[in-house]
Amino acid sequence: MSRTIALLQGDSTVGDLHGNATRLEALAELAAIHGATLGLSTELAICGYPPRDLLLQPDFVVKAQSKASALSVSIPILVGAPLAPDHPKQLPSNGVVRCGPLASKQPNGNRIVARKQLLPTYDVFDEARYFKPDNRPGIARTIAGLDLGVTVCEDAWQAADMTPSTYAADPIESLAEWGRQGVKLDATVNLSASPYHSDKLASRIHVCRTAASILNHPFLMANQVGGNDDLLFDGNSLVAWPDGTVVIAPAWKEGVLMVHLDDPNACEWLPSTASDALDVGDDQLRRLQPDDDGREHEREVLHDLTDAVVTGLTDYCRKSGIKSIVLGLSGGIDSAVAACVAAAAVGPENVTGIAMPSRHSSQHSIDDAAHTATSLGLKFDTIPIDSMHASVEGSIGGMLEQGAQVAGENLQARLRGLIVMAHANAQGSMAIATGNKSELAQGYCTLYGDMAGGYTPLGDLYKMQVYGLADVFNLRAEQQGLTAPVNASTRTKPPSAELAPDQIDEDSLPPYPVLDAILRAHIEGGLDGESIAEQGHDPAMVLDVLTRLERNEHKRWQMSPAPRVSSRAFGQGWRRPLASRHDWRRS
């Protein structure tokens, strides 16, 4: 008997029950044709992750569950779906249903295979808001001749001690206990929607290896791929054997990982054949020996980051029905790289770059912007803002003269925002904001100016990472025999907002390598100012950086979604009080 389980690595759209069902059916058919006997979807694949408050609508849950139970497939599939509660006052479960041959003859309730036990409620996760936890081990018997342990995402993380707080239960340990009592399982599967951040894959590998080792049989994790709002999912579905051997599906791609339980070397990757399948990065299957922890080298991390950011914008556009993008091109590194991302996401022919020089813009700004647009093949327009600027100054000159200098500087950024938005409104395009995490953290950006736009593709990249992405885009262009889109001038000039004569960012901010290090230590490392200074940074500079971070929370409240690529991003996982800028450490 064949022992092949297909991990269906799909890109579900939140709320699109019909579309998700169709995508799942296509992946299941691909798996069936290639001889899989059983398929496994990702967590909540029928409704996409995270469905957020759609789950508060009872008819949504009922419809999702029944859609998942009735997929038209020729092999049995275990599908992630919300499950309606027994009583109206109870919360739904985050569960797994069985569909396919035989299952279709059973009533809906009998098709339930498992319910999630550990509900993460930290960082970007709100599962205690939506679900009731279960306390029974998930076991599916003799489906296509296999006996399987069935777990959902977080269920597997407690055993590896990889959760921030300690749950009362440990589903992996419970399954192991059943094993010790004589229940023989062929494998344990895990339906996941585990969000991406840099270095996350190594954690997942550790989790799967730990589970396989405890359970003493293969442990298979099917993980969602694609972007939903600010959350990215990298795919990288994987299987671990008890000896530590691991096989990993490609990231940023839809397809099927065919897992031959008895032969790691026979595993294969089947790319999705759908015309609109997510298809970023390469198709390589990775095989890790037991002593390889799966951590990537710095260069590979940058390529992965690039693919992550491209996936975020690609899916945001596809899922929102956005066909074209417009952005301001300043000749600086941020807008150049944002243009590269936009071109990769919707095709260069659907991107318009607009250079909007002011009286403070240097000629190199216009030339460098033109270089990026031409190399990428964008539509390009130049609209000087000088006469508009003068007209506005004529009308509100008195207001500006009496006040802070920044008012006049911001005027230019806001005129540019107004032009980009006019183009977007006229053409039905989406404007994107070009800011990066370092400047957004410091408030070194203009609300309704360069922050204008429906999506901020670089919003979770520190400034130095933006340079890294520029190198990746240049390398990729050169490998295809094309001109590098980010030229040396853009790459090497000192960053400047060009809103005042001879202005450069370093007049107002620490050098970016230092700023990035301080921000990362605080935002992601959770260190306070004192601890950061102890790492060798000037204490006054650290205090300035952290103070600006606090004081600009109100600006970030209004930033558009940015794809999350770091362990702590500004957005859904960052719930800060806003109207209180008090330094409690000093009180």
Catalytic residue positions, numbered: 43, 116, 153
Round to whole Å and give the CA distance between 251 and 150.
23
Query: How would DSSP label each residue in 290-334?
Result: TT---PPPHHHHHHHHHHHHHHHHHHHHHHHT---EEEE--SSHH
* End-to-end CA gap in the chain: 70
Contacts of 498 (CB under 8 A, 6+ apart): 330, 358, 360, 361, 362, 365
Round to whole Å and give the CA distance between 90 and 35.
41
How many CB atoms sit inside 10 A of residue 122's CB?
12
Round to whole Å and give the CA distance between 436 and 332.
12
Round to whole Å and give the CA distance between 204 and 162.
9
Beta strands in 474-529 (DSSP E): none
Q: What is the CA radius of gyration of the chain?
A: 25
Burial of 295 per CB tally in 10 Å (0-12, 13-18, 19+): exposed
Return the amino acid letter for 570. F
Query: How would DSSP label each residue in 401-414?
Result: HTS-HHHHHHHHHH
